[in-house]
Structure 1
Amino acid sequence: MEDIHAVLEVLENQTVRSVLATIVHVEGSAYRKEGTTMLVQEDGMQTGLLSGGCLEEDIHTRFEAVWTGGSSVITYDMRGFDDLSWGRGTGCDGIIQVLLEPVNSRLYHDLMKMKEHLNAGNAVLMVKQLPADSGSAATLFECTGSVFGNWNGTAPAWINAARSGMQNREDAEEEEALYVHLFSPKPRLFVFGAGDDTCPLVHLAAFAGFDVTVADWRPAKCSRRRFPDARNLFTGFPEDMKHELDIKRGDFAVVMTHDFKRDKELLAYLRKRQLSYLGVLGSRKRTSLLLDQSEVPGDVKTPVGFSIAAEGPHEIAVSITAELIERFKSLTSGSEGMMV
């Protein structure tokens, strides 16, 4: 998932100066893709990772220069294999351009506004006019028709096309060097069931970047003490969940209540929601009985998770989380940022 969500969480509560580092261009192979962000604080702390450790130390040394001179784009050639090259024999065979920006009051305000939109489930399109040398990186943010940022002049004519296509645009050819990225909200995962085997799944899925809601009818089990990493907890029976939980097309769901009657009710409802992923804990035979069908349809994944011979709650949680990540990546491939 994108590091921007963790960066924004840290940035919201920080009290020290910080620099935002963003990969804006990659040629060849690299550890991370365009759009990857990292926050560097003056006390040495960092959130996010741009490489396998090759670039981070150098970026830390540039902290004061960025705060004094303004934003800049640094090019790292990772293709060398000698001890003096950035690749340092790691096998990275690419060129990486990183935009470094001081998080001043204006950028902080805009990033917090972007955080509000993302938390509300809205995607935010960002366009940056990259500085030729040191200076200011003009930034335009667009979300649900509203535009904000420190962009001077009118927005590019192709901005609406950028949100839907992210492809090269002929009318962008005469623009200065621009970086475009569409930031998406965290994918929402609904976990039905609050048994002991649910706890490691919620922890891993939240750590991987999912916005997790746990739903169960037992208050003693569906508690913040047991699920500190869940964004939301809902206590109620399946009939209540239908009316209270705002489950939308494209969400992810895993059913693991271990109660046949309630699993049956939940599946009947969830299959109508056009989910990106619907997994059911248990055998295919049990799931077919839940669905009153001789065969499990293609829109239901059961047994849930990758087949890795997993045993016990923690290994099963790993297999499920890996499958959730794979499904999310397959749906969002090709949506990374790009230079124009």
Structure 2
Amino acid sequence: MNGFVELARAAAAARQSRPQVALALATLVQVDGSSYRQPGARLLVDAEGRVLAGAVSGGCLEGDVAARAAAVCATGRAARLTYDLRADLETIWGLGAACDGIAHLLLEPLPDWQWMAEAEAIRARRQGGTVVTILDAHGSGTTCLLLDGDSPSARWHPLTDDARLVSPTDVAPIAHTAIRTVMPVLHALSNDASVFVEPLVAPIALHCVGAGRGAAAFAHIAVTLGWHVTILDHRPAMLEALEVPEGVHRRQMRQLDAVQTALSELPHDARTAVALLSHMFDVDAAWLAATLPLPLGYVGVLGSRKRAAQLLASAEATLAASQVEITPRHRHKLHAPIGLDLGGESPASIALAAIAEIEAVMHARPAGFLRERQSPIHSRTPTPTLPEDGRAPTSPTQPLRCELPEPRVD
């Protein structure tokens, strides 16, 4: 999650309460080795050294970054900061963090925060988009451009005059790679400049079928993660009585044959999860038959293995009558019984186990104990290579690095 909602709200609140205090935004643009946060993490600070929102580390860098904001705001010129987490913290705070990476950040003045609200709106439209930051050879840079949509039809929204320094020919394939792989890309345009292109990844859309206590627990946990939650049921009284956080959508389903209509009007992409919680066989079976063929990221069914097998058999029979075959890929997205094996039995515990499983699936992680993970816990797949001749992006066998240009000495 990009966190633009939190950042935009904090910036708006700061402008209202202290309009005379300038704001600055730090962006993590590159990590060498392991780091608590990954490229694209952001931190909002002000010229008086306050940390307002976001994070670029596990808590060890935020204070020092905030302390540097005054100089950046006074000059109106961004600065690039490099922290060797293996040693620098001993110098900064008098204690070492014993981390295993080097963090490269851009700290820039933020005279206008409205672009972050625009970036969040692009994310919510779920049609692709990117944030483009240019890094120059003088140790400066700026977030200069938003792309709304995927190339070549993406709409360009320049944020600063520096947007003229990047051309569609240069940026379009980089943006396409970032969107396809859901990973930021740091790419050298020349000896004098690099671009950091971050995909505006759509928030997870969670559709809970069934308005019981379990659905309320699902909604409360999912909303804290920034997910977009819809609860669907054919019983209006139960929907109205449900106590859910603000922003959760309730949708009444009047009959089973309206399932396809509802799905067509709701997100149904790879960032969508469906949780079948109705405890009604016909309802769950109808939704299972409708959702399995779709390109969803996750479908979970509450209940026992026996019930899940019966539901799957029913869904297969329904689809076979329409000459739709359930493939291994379709089966792979099905999680029945729903959730990780956490051991809890209350509605809240079951919701926690299911939400955790969805989070793991969306991040392509096995959801095991971190102490048993053999690779670094914060490492991610290496940045993919850019596509050539229209081919799909591919991941390299060895990690790639894009060295930031060294600042010029005039």
Aligned twin of 1:147: 156
Q: Which runs of 5+ in 1 are unaligned?
A: none
Alignment counterpart, residue 242 of structure 1, candidates 260, 269, 282: 260
Q: Structure 1 residues 239, 262: CA separation in 2 closer, same or farther (over 3 Å shift)?
A: same
Query: After superposition, where does 1:125-274 map in structure 2 within 5 Å?
Result: 125-132=130-137, 137=142, 139-144=144-149, 145-149=154-158, 150=160, 151-155=163-167, 157-166=169-178, 172-174=189-191, 176-223=193-240, 226-237=243-254, 238-244=256-262, 245-250=265-270, 251-274=272-295
Between Structure 1 and Structure 2, which shows a larger proportion of helix residues?
Answer: 2
Contact persistence 1:256–1:281 (CA under 8 A) = yes
Q: Does 1:89 align with 2:96?
A: yes
Contact persistence 1:129–1:139 (CA under 8 A) = yes
Aligned counterparts of 2:75 and 2:278: Cα–Cα separation in 1: 57
Query: After superposition, where does 1:292-307 map in structure 2 within 5 Å?
Result: 292=313, 297-307=331-341
Give the deviation of 1:124 after TM superposition: 1.9
Aligned counterparts of 2:315 and 2:119: Cα–Cα separation in 1: 47
Partner SS for 1:318: helix
Aligned twin of 1:25: 30
Q: Deviations over 1:218-256 (max 9, x none)?
A: 333324961115442212234334313324232211110
Alignment counterpart, residue 74 of structure 1, candidates 58, 69, 81: 81
Aligned twin of 2:53: 47
Aligned twin of 1:121: 126
Give the deviation of 1:312 after TM superposition: 1.0
Aligned length: 337
Give the deviation of 1:156 after TM superposition: 5.2
Q: Structure 1 residues 82, 277: CA separation in 2 closer, same or farther (over 3 Å shift)?
A: closer
Contact persistence 2:51–2:63 (CA under 8 A) = no
Q: Structure 1 residues 211, 10: CA separation in 2 closer, same or farther (over 3 Å shift)?
A: farther
Q: Which runs of 4+ in 1 moved over 6 A?
A: 167-171, 335-338
Give the deviation of 1:334 after TM superposition: 4.3
Q: Which runs of 5+ in 2 are unaligned?
A: 179-183, 317-325, 366-379, 385-400, 404-410
Q: Structure 1 residues 194, 45: CA separation in 2 closer, same or farther (over 3 Å shift)?
A: farther
Aligned counterparts of 2:129 and 2:382: Cα–Cα separation in 1: 12
Q: Structure 1 residues 182, 335: CA separation in 2 closer, same or farther (over 3 Å shift)?
A: farther
Give the deviation of 1:82 after TM superposition: 7.4
Contact persistence 2:221–2:352 (CA under 8 A) = yes
Aligned counterparts of 1:313 and 1:202: Cα–Cα separation in 2: 12
Give the deviation of 1:298 after TM superposition: 3.4
Partner SS for 1:191: strand
Alignment counterpart, residue 315 of structure 1, candidates 326, 336, 349: 349
* CA RMSD in angstroms, aligned pairs only: 3.2
Q: Deviations over 1:295-314 (max 9, x none)?
A: 99433211101112222112
Aligned counterparts of 1:21 and 1:12: Cα–Cα separation in 2: 17
Aligned counterparts of 2:137 and 2:128: Cα–Cα separation in 1: 28
